[in-house]
Structure 1
Amino acid sequence: MATFPIRTYGDPVLRQVTPDIDNIDESVVRLVEDMIETMHEAPGVGLAATQVGIQKRLFVYDIGDGPSVVLNGRITESSGEWTYEEGCLSVPGLFWPIRRPNHVLIEGMDLDGNGIQLEGSELLGRVFQHETDHLDGILLVERLDPDQYKQAMKLLRSQALNQDQEKAKRKILGGE
């Protein structure tokens, strides 16, 4: 198995809507295995294919009960409301309280091509929503209220500036 680099904020692949998977072959099975390994190493509780630069409608997740996968997943029902601090592997190190439905129903397929319906509340429901957002080209920062968004953009610009300065320093010192 292999791990993937995780795409971060600013990468245009994160804004793309993913197409459904029509054929579940060995490459999809390997992709799922590699994504699970990548998610665990990150560490995270969910990972969408877009976050590793793959334009397929699938995500993996593990909230402590063992890894699972949803292919072609779509939220079909939601209810309630729950505000909880949320982060994202594609926006590393930053967390915000996000209001989302507390309970969701997601429909999709498993790796055998069987139709599935999964219910999730609280953390599991949040993971389903967060990863489905990725597959629809929606990033966590788009779920922020206006004040949070303004703060997030300031932090992300600061992170980008620091990364650029580090790259320049390495280049000057001959490390790149």
Structure 2
Amino acid sequence: MAVYKIVELGDRILKERAKEVPKINQNIIKLLDNMAETMYHARGVGLAAPQIGVSKRVIVVDVGEGLLEMINPVITSCAGHETDSEGCLSIPGIVGDVTRASVIEVKGLDRRGKPLEVKAKGYLARALQHEIDHLDGILFIEKAKNIRKLVPKED
């Protein structure tokens, strides 16, 4: 496995709609593995393929409940709303308050090409929406209010 360099704000790929994955093959499996390793290495809770320079509709998320991998994810329903702070590995040192659906359903495929349906609420719902936004070329700062620099904690 490999740790990829994370693409940062200003790179054109972050503003483009990622391409659907027509067929799951070994390259996609390897991409999923490397994305997870990259996300954990960067201490993130989610990563979308465009964030490593790959225009594919692939995401990985782990909010502490175990790794979730999705290929061609689509949000099929949303309910409620809540506002909370978000950051992004592609926009280091910046946070903002984003209002998102509090409960969502997402359909996609797992690494074996099997249909996957996830019902998520709270932090997982937020992380999934954030990563799926990346697949559509949308960055959290476009939706955020109260954008601010993250102040590092002193030891």
Q: Which amino acid aligns with 1:117?
A: E
Structure with greater helix share of residues: 1
The whole-number CA distance in structure 1 between the counterparts of 2:86 and 2:36 is 20
* Cα shift at 1:96: 1.3
Q: Which is higher, the Rg of structure 1 or of structure 2? A: 1
Q: For residues 93 and 61 of structure 2, what CA distance do their matches in structure 1 show?
A: 19
Within 5 Å, give how 1:12-31 maps onto structure 2.
12-31=12-31
Cα distance in structure 2, aligned partners of 1:114 and 1:29: 13
Cα RMSD (Å) of the superposition?
1.2
Q: What is the CA distance between 1:65 and its match in structure 2? A: 2.2
Q: Distance in 2 between matches of 1:4 and 1:134?
A: 17
SS of alignment partner, residue 123 of structure 2: helix
Indicate the residue corresponding to 2:34 in structure 1. Answer: 34
SS in structure 2 at match of 1:88:
coil
Residue by residue over 1:132-169, the C-alpha shift from the partner in whole angstroms, topping out at 9 and shown as x without a partner, is 00000000111124xx4xx56xx6xxxxxxxxxxxxxx
Percent identity over the alignment is 38
Alignment-derived partner of residue 68 in structure 2: 68
Choose between structure 1 and 2 for higher RCO, CA contacts under 8 A separated by at least 6 residues.
Answer: 2
For residues 45-124 of structure 1, the aligned pairs below 5 Å read 45-124=45-124
Distance (whole Å) between structure 2 residues aligned to residue 70 and residue 64 of structure 1? 16
One-letter code of the match for 2:62?
D
Deviations 1:89-134, CA, capped at 9 Å, x for gaps: 0111111121111011111111111111101101000011000000
Distance in 2, matches of 1:135 and 1:37, equals 19
DSSP-derived class of the 2:131 partner: helix
2:152 alignment partner in structure 1: none
TM-score (normalised: structure 1): 0.82
Letter in 2 for 1:74: V
- Rounded to whole Å, the distance in 2 between the matches of 1:18 and 1:106 is 17
SS at match of 2:129: helix
